[in-house]
Amino acid sequence: MKLLHLHALPADMQLPPTAITIGNFDGVHLGHQAMLHTLKQRAQADGLKTLVMLFEPQPLEFFKGSDAPPRITSSREKIELLRAQGIDYVLIARFDQAFRSLTARQFADLLKFQLNGKALVLGDDFRFGCDRAGDSDFLRAYGFPIDNLETVLVHGERVSSTRIRNCLAQAVHRFFLQNGFNWISTPMMKTLVAIAAILYVLTALYPIVYD
């Protein structure tokens, strides 16, 4: 797997034709894994390389700063999880004022010309461009073949990074209540959720095998 940084790509660099998916991929959970599976299927069918575009910082971190929700995975952990999924390229886009100001057309041009995108695999709620003006219909009209992945459900509930984060927070809170702690400060809760997230990542990277 090759790690690329969008702002550092040489002007004359030519990527091979790619199938692209885009997102935060925080936790690389079952929903993300379904997306990556579809991406690899599309790439294999069309003779393309797989490329995952990530944002650094994540958009909510850019807009909310310290009030943004804690990450499930660090950038390094996320990259290792994507490597384990057999992705060809991971591209990190610096999410700053210039990037968030790109119009939907400029973002589509970036995918087509800089990243040599030939096909896209996107979530059913994907939005992009300044003020989230672009969506899958825009990209389809632009000329991209698109596979839209439907929401992945477990026990009837949507799998998402937000849900996993909330489950980790609830588990931490329940543990402390059961052990005599009646109050946990918000900073402490964020720290404890971060620790729980580390355990989540370790079990993903190094699964326990039972005899």
CA-to-CA separations, 25 to 11, 21, 75, 94, in angstroms, rounded:
27, 10, 10, 15
As beta bridge partners, residue 20 has: 51, 120
DSSP state of 66: G
Q: What is the Cα–Cα distance from 29 to 25, expressed in whole angstroms?
A: 8
The per-residue pLDDT for 11 is: 82
User: pLDDT tens per residue, the chain (211 residues)?
Assistant: 999 999 999 988 999 999 999 999 988 888 889 899 999 999 999 999 999 999 999 998 999 898 888 887 889 989 999 999 999 999 999 999 999 999 999 999 999 999 999 999 998 888 888 878 899 999 999 999 999 987 766 666 776 667 666 666 666 556 555 655 555 555 555 555 555 555 554 444 444 333 2
Angular region, 143: left φ>0, alpha ψ -120 to 50, beta rest: left
The per-residue pLDDT for 54 is: 97
The per-residue pLDDT for 89 is: 98
